[in-house]
C-alpha cells in the first residue's frame, strides 16, 4: 500500500450528540501533504434544520449563539451536505483524519449524507479515500510508547485522553477548544508528536487504514497485538490471532484472545460453545471491524505458550468456520429500528434508486418533488418528503405540510423517557445543569433560555 498520501484533518461541531437526530453545524478541515505540511484549509458553517431542536449543552460547549442557528447568510443543511461532498471530491483521494472520528464524526457525516439523499454514504472510504483516527493512535501510544507523550490526569489520578487536555499538556496552545478549526489544529499537533516520537506506532497505524492490508496481516495467523479501550479504563493490549470471518459481513473478523483461553479447548461442533465464545466476558473471541482502522500491531512476543497457541489456532480451520458463523448469528434476530433515521444500515439502495439520487442532487426543488415519487425505497420517499418540506414546503400539499409540522411538534414535546432526540423537557434539564455549573455567562444563559421558551 502507498503510504504517501494527502491527509485531511477535520472536525465537526454539531447540534447534539446523536448522529441520527442531530446535524453538523460546522465543518473545519485542513489538507496536508504526506509530511503533514498544510496545503489548504476550509471552515464552513450552516443553518440549523427546522426539524431539529439543538441540545443546549452543545450550544454552550461550542459557543454557538442561538441567533447564528438561523443566519440566512449561511447555507442550508442540504447545501452544506453538497458542499462537503464537493470538498471530498476536490481534496481526495486522501486519508480523512479526526479525533474520535470513527465513532462520532464519521457517523455524523454518514447520517448527513443519508438524510440529504446523497447517492453514497461512505464518501471518505471510496474512490481511493480512507480513514485514520488520532484518538486510536493516542491509545496505541499509551500502550506501546508511553514516554512519547505527557499524559494529563484527573482528580482520581487516571489518565485523561480528551483532546482539550491532551494537546495543551503536550505543548499546544489555544483559547478556543471546541471550535472545529481549533480542534483540527490540535489534532495535527498531536499527530505530529506521535509521528516523530513514536514512529513505529505511526507507521503501523497507517497500514491499518486499508482493510485489505488488515485482513492480510490477520490471515498470516501470527500473534498480533490489538489495542482497545472500554469505558473509563486506560487502553490495554490484547494478544491474539485470526480465528474466522463472518460470512454475512466480511468486514467482521474473529480475533482469538490467546491469553484468555486455549483454542484447542473449544469444540467447533458445539454451537452453544461457539456462541458463548463471542458473547461472554472475558471474551475469548473479540470482533474486529477491519474497515474501521483497528489498532492492530505486530509487536515482538516472547511468551512461548501464547506463540504455541497461535500456531495451533492457525491450523484449526473448522474452528475458524464455526466462529465466523457465530459472529454472523449474533444480531440476526435484532428488530429493525423504529425511526427512518436509524434505518440507515437496514439495506443497500437499488441501482435504479442510486440513479435517482444522482438526479435529485442536481435538480431544482420542483424536479426533486417529481423524483421523490419514483423512489422504490420507502426510506428515500420519507426523507425526500421531509427535505422538500424543510426547503420548499409550498411544493407539498396542505395535508403533507400539516403532517410534517405535527411530526416535528410531537417529537419536540414528547415526554417519552429516553427519547433519542432533544425534547423541550430534555432542554430544560440541560439548561438547569448549565446554570448550576455556570458553564456560560449570565447573558449567554439568558439568550439560551429565551431561545427555548419559543
Calculate the alpha carbon distances from 185 to 10, 101, 134 in Å.
Answer: 9, 15, 12
Domain ranges in the chain with CATH number 3.30.1520.20: 210-329
CATH, domain 7-206, list 3.30.420.10, 3.40.50.1000, 3.30.830.10, 3.30.1340.10? 3.30.420.10
String of b and e for 21-51 (b: at least 16 CB within 10 Å)? bbbbbbbbbbbbeeebeeeeebebbbbbbbb
Domain ranges in the chain with CATH number 3.30.420.10: 7-206
269/272 Cα distance (integer angstroms):
9
Phi, psi of 249, deg, nearest 5: -145, 90
Any alpha helices (H) in 16-68, and if so which ranges? Answer: 56-62
pLDDT of residue 231: 86
Q: Give the CATH number of domain 210-329.
A: 3.30.1520.20
Return per-residue pLDDT of the chain as tens, 454 residues. 445 579 999 999 999 999 999 999 999 999 999 999 999 999 999 999 999 999 999 999 888 899 999 999 999 999 999 999 999 999 989 999 999 999 999 999 999 999 999 999 999 999 999 999 999 999 999 999 999 999 999 999 999 999 999 999 999 988 776 688 999 999 999 999 999 999 999 999 999 999 999 999 999 999 999 999 998 899 999 999 999 999 999 999 999 999 999 999 999 999 999 999 998 878 899 999 999 999 999 999 989 999 999 999 999 999 999 999 999 988 777 788 899 999 999 999 999 999 999 999 999 999 999 999 999 999 999 999 999 999 999 999 999 999 999 999 999 999 888 889 999 999 999 999 999 999 999 999 999 999 998 6
304/306 Cα distance (integer angstroms):
6
pLDDT of residue 331: 75
pLDDT of residue 200: 97
pLDDT of residue 175: 74
Any alpha helices (H) in 116-171, and if so which ranges? Answer: 134-144, 163-169
SS3 (DSSP) at 138 = helix
Phi, psi of 53, deg, nearest 5: -95, 115
Q: Quick count: other Cβ atoms within 10 Å of Cβ 247? A: 12
Cβ-based burial of 61 (10 A; exposed 0-12, middle 13-18, buried ≥19): middle
Q: Strand 7-14's sheet: what is its strand order?
A: 38-45, 24-32, 7-14, 95-98, 130-133
SS3 (DSSP) at 387 = helix
Phi, psi of 25, deg, nearest 5: -110, -20
172/356 Cα distance (integer angstroms):
47
39/9 Cα distance (integer angstroms):
11
pLDDT of residue 1: 42
pLDDT of residue 5: 79
Of the candidates 315, 331, 294, 281, the one whose C-alpha atom is nearest the C-alpha of residue 103 is 294
Q: With contact defined as beta carbons under 8 Å apart, do 29 and 42 qualify?
A: yes
Amino acid at each position: 500500500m502507498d503510504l504517501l498520501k494527502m491527509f485531511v484533518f477535520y472536525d465537526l461541531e454539531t447540534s447534539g450528540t446523536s448522529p441520527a437526530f442531530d446535524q453538523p453545524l460546522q465543518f473545519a478541515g485542513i489538507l496536508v501533504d504526506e509530511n503533514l505540511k498544510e496545503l489548504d484549509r476550509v471552515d464552513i458553517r450552516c443553518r440549523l434544520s427546522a426539524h431539529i431542536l439543538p441540545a443546549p449543552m452543545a450550544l454552550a460547549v461550542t459557543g454557538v449563539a442561538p441567533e447564528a442557528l438561523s443566519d440566512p447568510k449561511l447555507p442550508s443543511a442540504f447545501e452544506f451536505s453538497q458542499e462537503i461532498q464537493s470538498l471530498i471530491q476536490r481534496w481526495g483521494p486522501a486519508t480523512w483524519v479526526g479525533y474520535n472520528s470513527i465513532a462520532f464524526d464519521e457517523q455524523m457525516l454518514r447520517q448527513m449524507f443519508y438524510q440529504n439523499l446523497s447517492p453514497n454514504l461512505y464518501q471518505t472510504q471510496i474512490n481511493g479515500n480512507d480513514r485514520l483516527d488520532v484518538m486510536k493512535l493516542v491509545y496505541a501510544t499509551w500502550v506501546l510508547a508511553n514516554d512519547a507523550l505527557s499524559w494529563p490526569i484527573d482528580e482520581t489520578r487516571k489518565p485523561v485522553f480528551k483532546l482539550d487536555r491532551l494537546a495543551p499538556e503536550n505543548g499546544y496552545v489555544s483559547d478556543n477548544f471546541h471550535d472545529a478549526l481549533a480542534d483540527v489544529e490540535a489534532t495535527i499537533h498531536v499527530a505530529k508528536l506521535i509521528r516523530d516520537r513514536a514512529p513505529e506506532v505511526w507507521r503501523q497505524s497507517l497500514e491499518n487504514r486499508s482493510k485489505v492490508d488488515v485482513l492480510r496481516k490477520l490471515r498470516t495467523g501470527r500473534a498480533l497485538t490489538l489495542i482497545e479501550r472500554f469505558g473509563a479504563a486506560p487502553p490495554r493490549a490484547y494478544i491474539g490471532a485470526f480465528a474466522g470471518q463472518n460470512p454475512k459481513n466480511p468486514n467482521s473478523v474473529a480475533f482469538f484472545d490467546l491469553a484468555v483461553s486455549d483454542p484447542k479447548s473449544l469444540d467447533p461442533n458445539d454451537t452453544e460453545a461457539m456462541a458463548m465464545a463471542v458473547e461472554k466476558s472475558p471474551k475469548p473471541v473479540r470482533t474486529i471491524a477491519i474497515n474501521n482502522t483497528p489498532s492492530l500491531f505486530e509487536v515482538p512476543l516472547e511468551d512461548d505458550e501464547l506463540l504455541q497457541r497461535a500456531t495451533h489456532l492457525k491450523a484449526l480451520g473448522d474452528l475458524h468456520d464455526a466462529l465466523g458463523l457465530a459472529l454472523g448469528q449474533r444480531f440476526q434476530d435484532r428488530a429493525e429500528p423504529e425511526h427512518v433515521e436509524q434505518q440507515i444500515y437496514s439495506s443497500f439502495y437499488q441501482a435504479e434508486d442510486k440513479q435517482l439520487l444522482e438526479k435529485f442532487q442536481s435538480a431544482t426543488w420542483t424536479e426533486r418533488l417529481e423524483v421523490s415519487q419514483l423512489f422504490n425505497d420507502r426510506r428515500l420517499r420519507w426523507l425526500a418528503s421531509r427535505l422538500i418540506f424543510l426547503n420548499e414546503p409550498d411544493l407539498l400539499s396542505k395535508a403533507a405540510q400539516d403532517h410534517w409540522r405535527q411530526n416535528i411538534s410531537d417529537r419536540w414535546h414528547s415526554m417519552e423517557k429516553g427519547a433519542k432526540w432533544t425534547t423541550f423537557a430534555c432542554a430544560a434539564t440541560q439548561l438547569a445543569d448549565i446554570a448550576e455549573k455556570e458553564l456560560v455567562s449570565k447573558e449567554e444563559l439568558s439568550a439560551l433560555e429565551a431561545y427555548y421558551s419559543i
